[in-house]
Amino acid sequence: MLNRFLVQITFFESLKSVCRLGLNTAIRISSFHACKYLLRFLFVGLFTLGMLLQVSAQSLLQKGEYFTHEGIGDGEYIELTGDVLRSDLPDHFVAASVMPFLEFEAEVISLDEENAAVIFLLAETGGRDLELLLNVEFLQSGESIHYYRIGSESSQKFERRQTPVFSEKERGKLVVEWNGSADRTEEILKNNPLRNAYLHNGSLRSDETGFGTSLECHINVSCPEGLTFNEVKDGINRIRVVVEEGIGHCSGALINNTAEDHTPYLLTAYHCMDGFTPIYDMWRFDFFYESLSCSDPQDEPGFFSLTGAEFRAGHPDTDFLLLELTEDFPGDFEVPFLGWDRREDYLPQNTALIHHPSADIKKVSLYSSSLRVHPNQINWNNGVTTPRQSHYRQNLTSGTFEPGSSGSPLLSPEGRIMGQLHGGNPSCSTFLAYSGILYYSWDLGDDSSERLRDWLDPLNTGQLTLDPSLREAAFDEFLVHGVVNTPAGQAVGMVEVTLECGDESWETVTEADGLFNFEVSLPAGVVDACQLSFRKNVNPRNGVNVLDIAVMRRHILNIEPLEDYPFQAADLNGDGVINVIDIAILRRLILQIIDQFPDSDSWKMLPDELDFDLNGDPDYFFEVTGLKMGDVDFSANPSN
């Protein structure tokens, strides 16, 4: 059973000190006795409150100033050690699923009469990282899943979303917990959020993968050796491969088709997932992960990721896998879709591999001699035998490759894809690489799910080569403008106007003509709505005098009722009624007892906020009314 959180009464010693001091020497004794009884009363009250609460209604993790965790018995944790890791995962895998070992009986904990927590997992990983794949689509508003380490001061919090979500890695004594309404616990127990759990152990080659972990003999793509391929390198990416059985890394490249419509096809290696159960929705594709210079950077560079893909075609004979990304690039991104060359008799010199060895930053490897077709079958260590003449063979002359490089494009001197890396004998002393041949993959198999032709030549042109195509940055450009006038049609100056479109915002101030103008350029398709807001709060006495008070009195006496704009100008406290309170506010302002209206700006904008959808129109014009508060007879100078 989980131990509870106890309330720490951290302030009693301070209260005792105050009581001992007293206000002065004469009353110190009586003050101390009074405080002593007060302390007893507070202690009993707070202790009772602490026993009623027992735990935080937000999360069992809560470790603020007034809470402390007493610990959980070690016997309640599932111990996850290296012994539970699968031994049959290939070298490019860095984590193994441990779901078969997570037999944990969920426990319901009542937080109070209305709230409860459900513990779905207690696990001890020692020095290994545990990464979770969570289902959260069953959560309702106000419910959340928490993943945290005992002793941590924060948790990873997950709320409802339609697709599964990965946690960050955690290690140590770990908890997975649901928080929500107590009347939902029975339903929650039927929906275990744990879709999968992956224990990290590095790759089988080393203890670490990622930035700075590849072999020293690699060459950064920004070095002179990679300059030939500058125009296509940005289309080559690192892939985070997710299967039910584990997590790994490969490389891949965007590939063009004869329609040149930038359908996001991506070519990689079939063995990245062969023999396992791929979860393509969770595959992540990292672009622009590279050094900007030839040397290794001191700090890890950033990258841009897209998540999710769909299977289009693949075959183990040439080890090709064609995917289509389910997310699109933002409109302001420029990215190349690599061309291809399927000529059988073309065996050029100076071919290259561009790849992410050990999931590190982008590297380039070169082969200066003529490309060769391997005449024999190849027996691979995963039990696959590929046919004769289905692979190119390279004895690399610069650089090498590693686990994580698989699926990288084999590039001709023109930067076209001729195949994709399958494997070989990588090290800094041997450089033998085999790549599945694209022309062999073209008509392979019995249907479109086993060959490339249907996808890369949808127009059925029969062409043998295709050049790269740059997806150029696209922008939505439009004008947002308008005018602010008084009800009498006079232009209102000095109005602060703000335009917000997504994460972007712009500001301007109207001149004496009351006009505002924004020329906007946004990445295409990123934002579908914007908001304008208006404010003016200067010189509240502008146009305000005793004549306005007289008009307001006539309204109160029902002699000459105010309507519409004059009524709104007279309603200074915004309660929907004009009465002596509004007159009192205006009188105090005229007599300079106050310098601002206490409940409003000096001008009221109608509307003060304006939302509008972007429908492809290049021009959006708006008219706004500015109303000077307290100026019932519209005598104010709107440019002031």
Quote the pLDDT of residue 65.
28
Quote the pLDDT of residue 73.
52
207 has pLDDT over 80: no
Distance CA(463)–CA(27), nearest Å, equals: 102
Average pLDDT over residues 90-99: 90
In the block, tokens 């599964």 appear at 164
CA angle 340, 345, 351 (to 5 degrees): 55
How, if at all, do strands 67-69 and 5-7 pair? Answer: antiparallel
Give the CA distances from residue 230 to residues 341, 414, 420, 472, in Å, rounded to whole numbers and listed in that order: 18, 11, 19, 16
Quote the pLDDT of residue 126.
82
Quote the pLDDT of residue 32.
42
Average pLDDT over residues 188-212: 80
Residue 6: pLDDT band by 50, 70, 90 thresholds? very low
Average pLDDT over residues 206-223: 88
**CATH of 219-460 among 2.160.10.10, 2.40.10.120, 1.10.150.120, 1.10.3720.10:** 2.40.10.120
Mean pLDDT of the chain: 88
Half-sphere exposure of 223 (CA within 13 A, CB side): 19
| Rg of the chain over all Cα atoms, to the nearest angstrom | 35
Condensed to tens digits (0 to 9), the pLDDT of residues 426-461 reads 889 878 999 999 999 999 999 999 999 999 999 999
Domain ranges of the chain: 5-54, 71-200, 219-460, 480-628
Residue 361 tokens read as 């930053």
Average pLDDT over residues 55-73: 41
42 has pLDDT over 60: no
Residue 48: pLDDT band by 50, 70, 90 thresholds? very low
Quote the pLDDT of residue 112.
85
| Dihedral over Cα of 234, 240, 241, 243: its sign | negative
Quote the pLDDT of residue 577.
95
Quote the pLDDT of residue 44.
39
Percent of the chain residues topping a pLDDT of 70: 87
Spot the catalytic one: 92, 146, 200, 271.
271
Give the CA distances from residue 547 to residues 250, 544, 636, in Å, rounded to whole numbers and listed in that order: 79, 8, 12
Lowest mean pLDDT among 195-199, 526-530, 569-573, 584-588: 526-530
Nearest to 91 by CA among 253, 238, 249, 320: 249
Residue 319 known to be catalytic: yes
Spot the catalytic one: 319, 360, 454, 582.
319
Lowest mean pLDDT among 17-31, 180-194, 345-359: 17-31
Residue 600: pLDDT band by 50, 70, 90 thresholds? very high
Residue 494's SS3 state is: coil
Query: Angle formed by the axes of helices 12-21 and 28-53, to 10°?
Result: 170
Give the CA distances from residue 580 to residues 380, 547, 630, in Å, rounded to whole numbers and listed in that order: 92, 15, 13
How, if at all, do strands 173-181 and 165-166 pair? Answer: unpaired
Average pLDDT over residues 355-367: 97
Average pLDDT over residues 40-62: 43
Pick the residue with more confidence: 638 or 331? 638
Residue 271 known to be catalytic: yes
Condensed to tens digits (0 to 9), the pLDDT of residues 465-515 reads 999 999 998 899 999 999 999 999 999 999 999 999 999 999 999 999 999
83 has pLDDT over 80: no
Residue 27: pLDDT band by 50, 70, 90 thresholds? very low
Quote the pLDDT of residue 232.
97
Residue 56: pLDDT band by 50, 70, 90 thresholds? very low
125 has pLDDT over 50: yes
205 has pLDDT over 60: no
Distance CA(413)–CA(370), nearest Å, equals: 11
Distance CA(452)–CA(336), nearest Å, equals: 19
Distance CA(89)–CA(360), nearest Å, equals: 20
CATH of domain 480-628: 1.10.1330.10
Average pLDDT over residues 85-96: 83
538 has pLDDT over 50: yes
Pick the residue with more confidence: 151 or 28? 151
Quote the pLDDT of residue 21.
40
Query: Do 486 and 624 touch, CB atoms closer than 8 A?
Result: no
Spot the catalytic one: 97, 406, 469, 602.
406
Residue 563's SS3 state is: coil
Average pLDDT over residues 254-277: 97
Domains 219-460 and 480-628 share a fold: no
381 has pLDDT over 70: yes
End-to-end CA distance of the chain: 71
Average pLDDT over residues 17-37: 41
Residue 118's SS3 state is: strand
- Tell me the backbone φ, ψ of residue 133, rounded to 5 degrees: -110, 115
Give 383-427 as a DSSP string.
S-EEPTTSEEEEE-SB----TT-TTPEEE-TTS-EEEEEEEEEES
Conformation bin of residue 143: beta by default, left when phi > 0, alpha when psi is -120 to 50: beta
In the block, tokens 């335009």 appear at 499
213 has pLDDT over 90: yes
